Amino acid sequence: MNKNAQATPRSVIALFAVASGLCVANVYYAQPLLDALAQSFAISQAAVGGVVTATQVGSALALLLLVPLGDVVERRLLLLVQLLALVVALAVVALAQSATVLLVGMLATGLLGTAMTQGLIASAASIANEQERGRVVGAAQGGVFIGLLLARVFAGVISDLAGWRAVYGVSASLMLVLLLLLWRRLPVMRSTMISVSGLRLMASMLGLLRTDRVLQVRGVLALLMFAAFNIFWSAMVLPLSAAPFGLSHTAIGLFALAGVAGALVAAKAGREADRGNAQRTSLLALFLLLLAWWPLSQLQHSLVLFILGIVLLDLGGQALHVTNQSLILRTDTSQHGRLVALYMLFYALGSGLGAMATTAVYAVFGWQGVCLLGAAVTLLALIVWVTTRRWMLVSNNL
């Protein structure tokens, strides 16, 4: 697709933000509903986690199989077809009468919800001109972050009012409305890449990973950042649910709302990248991430400091995330689908490693050990940034 000479209309940018938030929320609705799902399908508490696993497997498959297709297939058509399929997947979940059908529906929901979310971000980057690309990507990513935060709240409220099936029924209805809006507002986004087989497309992804130094550097930063994120979020429930706090899961979930400030800084970080300040923004983001671990470590002494730590963690994380995406998507728009998919694979690997490490550390060293681990991983990210900064500045004018 040729770059637009004119600025992207605000209504289209807002649509990308809203659509990204609504689509990503589908991947996370199940987490606060596990008890209800276990009861409905007579699944044990130990086995019901497979529902979330099925969704995560679908997300990983999307990054490998569907998101890269945006570089080969006309993006608007691909998004509309995927969204229609997502409506069907949500309906399957809402109407499921057996655990097998439920798991199939959840896998499809993770697959299509993730494909839509990352496809929307790649499309937002593609329709924006170079001078505004960071701002447009930042707006879409801000929508993703708000969707992540509000998904659990939405699922809890709708489930309390009308049962867990209504969560997916309402979401399917919202996706139909979104389908109409995208059909009417999205421009045609033709690919300039010659049609290739799936194997050759994946081989080209390996080629990008091997040769694109910006993707390599920013991917490693993303891996470490999301590892630090999940070190915190995976362990947070453990001290808050124990004495002396003894908070319910609903109350613990509300702490996530403290991170909404991260969504507000996303577009700002994108604008700074557009102005050539990506490295300065990265340093500030990494400094905030590192600084966050001190107030987070004060949980036993002050909930106010703890909440401040969450705000700092999300501010830094979102600023770095959007800056990363803005930099890797500066290249030819014909590569955006594959670049987004590869970048998010770094994200997924970091998230998984962080979640695995934190519970083991907490069992041995407690909350202070978790905070030290998070600070160490963040410091490693800062070291990576320092050691690669000169090369990035000289070779890429970043």
Higher-pLDDT residue of 250 and 97 is 97
How far apart, in Å, are the Cα atoms of 292 and each of 15, 155, 222, 305, 311? 32, 29, 17, 10, 8
Contact, 341 vs 68, CB < 8 A?
yes
Query: Is residue 334 scored above 50 in pLDDT?
Result: yes
The pLDDT value given to residue 289: 94
The pLDDT value given to residue 92: 95
What tens digit of pLDDT does each residue of 201-228 get? 677 778 778 888 888 899 999 999 988 9
Ranges of each domain in the chain: 1-195, 198-398
The pLDDT value given to residue 322: 83
Average pLDDT value for residue range 66-92: 88
Query: Is residue 45 scored above 90 in pLDDT?
Result: no
Contact, 186 vs 83, CB < 8 A?
no
Print burial letters for 121-143: b (CB count within 10 Å at least 16), e (below 16).
bbbbbbbbeeebbbbbbbbbbbb
Average pLDDT of the chain, as a whole number:
82
Q: At residue 351, what is the residue type?
A: S
The DSSP-derived string for 4-35 is: PSSPPPHHHHHHHHHHHHHHHHTTTTTGGGHH
The pLDDT value given to residue 253: 64
The pLDDT value given to residue 209: 82
Percent pLDDT > 90 in the chain is 28
Rounded to the nearest 5°, which phi and psi values hold at 397?
A: 55, 45
The pLDDT value given to residue 243: 82
The pLDDT value given to residue 181: 93
Query: Is residue 163 scored above 90 in pLDDT?
Result: no
Query: Is residue 4 scored above 50 in pLDDT?
Result: no
Average pLDDT value for residue range 131-147: 78
CATH topology of domain 1-195: Growth Hormone; Chain: A; (1.20.1250)
Query: Is residue 394 scored above 80 in pLDDT?
Result: no
Average pLDDT value for residue range 46-58: 73
Query: Is residue 241 scored above 80 in pLDDT?
Result: no
User: Pick from 69, 72, 155: which is nearest to 116 by CA?
Assistant: 69
Query: Is residue 368 scored above 60 in pLDDT?
Result: yes
Average pLDDT value for residue range 113-141: 80
The pLDDT value given to residue 165: 93
The pLDDT value given to residue 1: 42
Query: Is residue 135 scored above 60 in pLDDT?
Result: yes
User: Which residues contact residue 277 at a Cβ distance below 8 angstroms, ignoring those fewer than 6 apart?
Assistant: none
The pLDDT value given to residue 140: 83
The most confident of 7-21, 107-121, 207-221, 282-296, by mean pLDDT? 282-296
Q: What is the CATH number of domain 198-398?
A: 1.20.1250.20
Of 36-40, 134-138, 206-210, 295-299, the one with minimum mean pLDDT is 134-138
The most confident of 36-40, 107-111, 203-207, by mean pLDDT? 107-111
pLDDT band at 3 (very low <50, low <70, confident <90, very high): very low
What tens digit of pLDDT does each residue of 246-274 get? 876 567 667 777 777 666 666 677 677 77
CA-based diameter of the chain, in Å?
61
Average pLDDT value for residue range 157-180: 91
